[in-house]
Structure 1
Amino acid sequence: MAHLFTLKKVGAYTLSHRVVLAPMTRMRTIQPGDIPSPMMADFYGQRASEGGLEIIEGVSISVPARSYLGAASFYHDGQTEGWKAIANAIHAKGGRAFMQLIHGGRQSHVDMTGGVAPVAPSVVPFEGVAFTKDGFVPASPHRALEIEEIPGIIEEFRVAAQRALDAGFDGVELHGANGYLVDQFIQDGTNKRTDAYGGPIENRVRFLREAVEALISVWGADRVGVRISPSGQWGGISDSNPEATFSYVAQVLDGYKLAYLHVIEPRIKGDDTLHEDHPPVAVKYLRPHFSGPIIAAGGFDGASAEAIVAAGDADLVAFGRHFSSNPDLPYRLQHKLPLTPYVRAAFWGGDEKHYSDFPAWSPTLEPTEAE
C-alpha cells in the first residue's frame, strides 16, 4: 500500500491518502421534502478520515431533476441544516466533502418530477426505471428539451453549487455519468439533436461545458470535479465510438484545470459487477488526455487500487460497496485487515440497519456479524 497511502494534491486540497468514498444513492432522506437525515450525518461522519475525500451521493438540483424517492436533493432552504450537519460531521474528523450534483433527465417518473414529463436531449426509446412510492417502476415517457429551456437548467446547477458552498462543503462534482442528463447529451445514442447541442462531439459536450462553467463560477475550477462513465451501461446509454468521445471529453475538461476527473470503469453497472476479472480500461486511454488527478472507480479492492495508482493510470481510487460496510475502510486497507461484507438489500433505501450501524475494526470483530 505504499502508493495508496501517500499525500496527494487534489485541486485546492492536499489529501492524506488516495482512498475516496464514492457517491452512492442510498435513499435515506426524510420525506416529504428530501431532508438530509441524522443517520446520513452519522454515515458520512463515520466514514470520514483525516485528509480523506468523500463525494456525497447524487444530489438533485430541482424537483424535475429527481429520479429516486428518498434520494438526496438540494433545492430549498429547508434542506440546508441537514446538509450542514453532514459537512460538519466530515470536517470534525478532518475530512473533505464534495457534493455531487445531478439531473436525472429521462431516468425519472412523473411521481418524482412534480407531474411533468422527464426531459432529455432527444426522444429515444428507453426502458429504464425510477423509484417511487410504489418501488422501482418503468420510467415515464420523456420529452426533448427546447433549446431555450437549457439555460434554466444550467442556472439550477449554479444555484445548487452555491447552496453547497453556503452549507459548508469543500467542493462540488458534476455527475456526468451513468446515463443521467449530462451523459445523455454527451453520447450519440441518446443525443439526436440537430441544433447547437447535438451532432458532432463538439456540440454534444456543450451542455457539459456550460454546466462545468456554472459550477466554476461559484467554486473556482480547483474545487470542481466531474464524473464520467465511458462505455457504461447504466441508464440505457450508448455511443458509437466511446473511446473517441470520452478522450475528447477528457481533453475538454483538462482545459479547465479541474480538481479531478472521476472515471467509472465499464466493468461496473450501477451496483453490479459485469466483468469480475476485467482489468481497468477507461482510465488507461483517458490518462494521456487529462493532466490533472484522476479518480478511478468500479470494482476495486485494496490490491488493485494500489496497483492502478502505482502504475500511474489513476491517482486515487473511489470505493462504494466496500465503504458501505466498512466505515474505517482506509485503515483496514492500509493494515490489510478483513473487510465486513456489504449488504446489497440495504443499498436502495431503509433505516440505520446495514447503513450506519456497521462497526469499525476491532480484533474481536467477526466479519459475519454485520451480514
Structure 2
Amino acid sequence: MNSTYFTEEHDLFRESLKDFLQKEVVPHIEKWEKTGTIERFIWEKFGEMGFFGINYPEAYGGLNLDLFYTVIFLEELQKVNSGGFAAAMWAHAYLAMTHLNAEGDERIKKDYLAPSILGKKIGCLCITEPFGGSDVAAMRTTAVKKGDKYIINGSKTFITNGIYSDYLVVAAKTSPELGNKGISIFLIDRDVKGVSATKLDKLGWRASDTAEIAFDNVEIPVENLMGEENKGFPYIMQHFALERLIMGINAHARSEFAIDYTLQYMSEREAFGKTINKFQALRHKMAELVTDVEHCKLFNYATIARLDKGDYVVKEATMSKLKSTKVADDVMYSCLQMLGGYGYIEEYPLARLFRDSRLGPIGGGTSEILKEIIAKMVIENKDYKKAVN
C-alpha cells in the first residue's frame, strides 16, 4: 500500500477486514440484493469487530483511530460488489453517528452512540426532502416547541437505512422565518407515534433500504434537540465535507475493483487469435482509466490527511466527490463495454457496478450543486465557516 499514508498497522487492519468481509458478508450479498433486506445479525458482527467505532471515542466503545482506517473500511466495502450494503454500513457509521458524536449530549452518547458502535442500534440521517432535493435551506419540516416538547411535522426522502433504523437524526426548522439560519437537529426514536416510512424502489443500491419518511405531529422531549437551536445548518454543512469525501473514496475504490476485474477478464478473453488485452485501442483506454483513478485516489488521500489534522476541507471534499464520481461512471461504462455482451449479464459484476455507481453524482449533493459551491469559493471567494458547538 501507499506508505505515505498507510502504516503496517493499517495494512494488518485491511487484511483483517478483507477476511471478515469474505467470510461473513460475501456469502449473503446475492440474497440481500434480491430481498432488499440486510439481516440484523451482520450489524452486530460489525459492531463486535469494532468496525463501527473506528474513529469514535474510547469512552463509548470506539477505537479512536485515524481517518485512514476509515479509508480502508470504505475501500474494502466497495469490493463486495454491493453499493447498497456498503451504503447501509457507512450511512450508519458516518452520517447518523457523526451527528450523535458531534452534537449529542452525554445522555445521547451513552444511550445511542455507544449501542450504535456495537451494532445494537442502527441510525439514519434525515435531511433531504421531496420538494427540496439538494437545497437544504428550502426544507419544510418544522419543529415547534410546546412546553417541554417539540412537535415535528413534515417529510424526508431518499433516506438510507430509513426502514432498518432504530433512531433518526432529523433536520427541521425551529425558526422558519430565518431560512437556513432557523434549522435545528433532533434525535427521534423509530417507535415514536407519528413516524412512518415507505420503502423506495431504486435503480441500484438494491440491498439498502432507501425510504421516504413522514412525521405527523411527532412529539419528542426538548432534550432530544442536538447542539444549539437554529445551528443545524452549519452542523450539516461541516459534516458534508466528510460525507463528500466518503463518496469520493467510495468512487475511486469501486473504480479500482471494476478495473481489476476487467483486466483479469481481458487477459483471458480471446478474439481473433489473441487475448483482448493485446489490442491497442483497448489497452490505451484502460491506461487512461487507470490514470484518472490514480489521480482521484491520491487527491482523496491528501485531502483525508488534511481533514485528519483538523483542516476544514470543504472545497477539496467537494472537488473529491465531483471528480471521483464522474471518473467512476466513466470507468463503469468503459469496463462494461470491455466485457461486451457479458457486461450486460447480471451474473457478471459490471452490470451491478454500473447501476450502483450512478448514484455517485446524485447523492450527498448533485454534481451540479457541487460545481456551484466550488464556483462560489473560487470566483466569489466565499468562505464557508466551521460550526462551533
TM-score, length basis structure 1 = 0.26
Judging by fraction of residues, say which structure has more helix.
2
For the pair shown, the structure with the greater C-alpha radius of gyration is 2
TM-score, length basis structure 2 = 0.25
